[in-house]
Homo-oligomer: A and B are copies of this chain.
Amino acid sequence: MGIDPGLTRCGLSVVQAGRGRAVLPISVGVLRTPSDAELSERLLSISAGVREWIADYQPDVIAIERLFERGNVSTVIHTAHAVGVLILAAAELGIPVHHYTPSEVKKAISGNGRADKKQMTAMITRILGLSEAPKPADAADALALAVCHCWRAPVLARTASVAGHAGRPALAKERTQQP
């Protein structure tokens, strides 16, 4: 499951990893909360929404965008409130959460860490074999996060396994990110 977090629009996606680099799209959507509603109500709504998705699709793992420390700080704070609630929902249900920066996702999907939205949408449409481009951007981003994790997970698992056997302390921090 991929999550592009946000308080006003939160992109959610579910994919199934196949053999090699094959990824099957299962579902995609956007949770919305009205910007004039109280913060309490908005967080309740996001929490209930993501729990419903988790209950419906029972994901093995959740990939969520790591917040970037730039841009409008007020927006970042609002998004960070939503991220807290989203990660809590996953944690309460024992689902591991992986974080990816926007440039990690762009690089994994398009080979270019600075790909623009148009390029990313075209790539994700092609990778998943969709008949039309996913909309809005939050939905496409949620799918990109999910695909990014499908492709990165085997690499991360091997790294963790090698590090585990060799006990390399330099990789200790990376290992702790893998529940």
Give every chain B residue within 8 A of A97 (Cβ-Cβ): 39-40
Summarize A's interface: helix, strand, loop or mixed: helix
Contact B77 A39 (CB under 8 A): no
Give the interface size class of chain A. Answer: 20 to 34
A70-99 to B contact mask, C-beta < 8 Å, 1/0:
100110110011111101101110001100
Residue of B whose beta carbon sits closest to that of A67? B77
Contact B91 A41 (CB under 8 A): yes
Residue of B whose beta carbon sits closest to that of A89? B88
Taking Cβ atoms with an 8 Å cutoff, the residues of A that contact B are 36, 38-41, 43-44, 47, 67, 69-70, 73-74, 76-77, 80-85, 87-88, 90-92, 96-97, 176-177, 179
